[in-house]
Structure 1
Amino acid sequence: MKRLNKVLLTVALALFAGAAMATGNLSVNISEGEGAEAHVRVTNAVESQFEMEIRNMNNDIVYYKQIQQPLKLVLNTYDFSKLSDGEYTFTVKLDNEMNRSVLAVKDGDVKVVDQTKQVDPYFGMNNNQLNISYLNHAANDVMLYLYDGKTNRLIHEDDLGEEFAVNHAIDLSKLDSGSYEAVLVSNNGVYAYEITLN
Structure 2
Amino acid sequence: MKQLNKVLFTVALVIMAGAVMATGNLNVKVTAGEGAEAHVRVTNAVEAQFEMEIRNSSNDIVYYKQIQQPLKVVLNTYDFSRLSNGEYLLTVKLDNERNTTTLAVENGDVKVVDQVKQVDPYFGYSNDKLQISYLNHAAGDVKLYVFDEQSNRLIHEDELGSAFAVNHAVDLSKLKKGSYEAVLVSDNGVYEYGIALK
TM-score, normalized by length of structure 2?
0.89
User: Which one scores higher on RCO, CA 8 angstroms, separation ≥ 6?
Assistant: 1
* Cα shift at 1:54: 0.6
Contact 1:135 1:164 in 2 (8 A): yes
> Using the alignment, how far apart are the partners of 1:119 and 1:89 within structure 2?
17
Q: Deviations over 1:1-60 (max 9, x none)?
A: xxxxxxxxxxx9xx8787445301110000111111111000111111101011111111
Instruction: Give the partner amino acid of 1:150.
Output: Q
Q: Report runs of 4+ in structure 1 exceeding 2 Å deviation.
A: 15-22
> Using the alignment, how far apart are the partners of 1:170 and 1:20 within structure 2?
21
Instruction: Give the partner amino acid of 2:188.
Output: N
Contact 1:16 1:132 in 2 (8 A): no
Counterparts in 2 of 1:56-135, with a 5 A limit? 56-135=56-135
Instruction: Could you tell me which runs of 5 or more consecutive residues in structure 1 were left unpaired when the two chains were aligned.
Output: 1-11
Instruction: Could you tell me which runs of 5 or more consecutive residues in structure 2 were left unpaired when the two chains were aligned.
Output: 1-11
Instruction: Give the partner amino acid of 2:95.
Output: D
Aligned residue pairs total 186
Q: Which residue of 1 aligns with 2:188?
A: 188
Q: Which residue of 1 aligns with 2:137?
A: 137
Q: Which residue of 1 aligns with 2:162?
A: 162
* Cα shift at 1:182: 0.5
Instruction: Give the partner amino acid of 1:168.
Output: H
> Using the alignment, how far apart are the partners of 2:76 and 2:99 within structure 1?
16
Q: Which residue of 1 aligns with 2:9?
A: none
- Structure 1 residue 53 and structure 2 residue 33: aligned? no
Supply the RMSD in Å over aligned alpha carbons.
1.7
1:47 is paired with a residue whose SS is: strand
Contact 1:20 1:135 in 2 (8 A): no
Contact 1:143 1:185 in 2 (8 A): yes
> Using the alignment, how far apart are the partners of 1:40 and 1:187 within structure 2?
25
Contact 1:16 1:131 in 2 (8 A): no
* Cα shift at 1:81: 1.0
Q: Deviations over 1:59-114 (max 9, x none)?
A: 11111100000111000111111111111110001111101000001111100000
Contact 1:96 1:119 in 2 (8 A): yes
2:150 is paired with a residue whose SS is: coil
Q: Percent identity?
A: 75
Cα 1:17–1:195 shift into 2, 3 Å: farther
